[in-house]
Structure 1
Amino acid sequence: MSDRDQAGHKAEEFKGKAKEGLGKATDNEQWQAEGKTEKNTSKLKQAGEKAKDALTGDRKHDK
């Protein structure tokens, strides 16, 4: 996974968490749901990239 992809996925995860939190604070169920979806989608993308790296032998980001 490139550093740019990794940073982008983390940014998406943060955005989702923020949106979910704002939805909770304002009692906006739509924002809560959208934020949770964005957060989970980002986590799935990150997991997929890690799996792809493991299969291709890219150990650059393993820590």
Structure 2
Amino acid sequence: MFPYLPHTKKEIEEMLESIGVASIDDLFTDIPDELNLKNPLNIPDGISEYEVFKKLNDLSK
């Protein structure tokens, strides 16, 4: 398995600059306000890569 390596702040700034926006929020300005969620989604917390592997391995048996 390969570890997840998130982008650095500098990399994110470079990507945003290359497409001409100042922030990640600017990417969503065209979405009408009535379509934006007003409350957070009711989903469980994330789990580790090992936990995912174990669950999938258990399901495969």
- TM-score when scaled to structure 2? 0.24
Higher normalized contact order (CA 8 Å, seq sep 6+, divided by chain length): 1
Structure whose alpha-carbon radius of gyration is higher: 2
Structure number having the greater helix percentage: 1
- TM-score when scaled to structure 1? 0.23
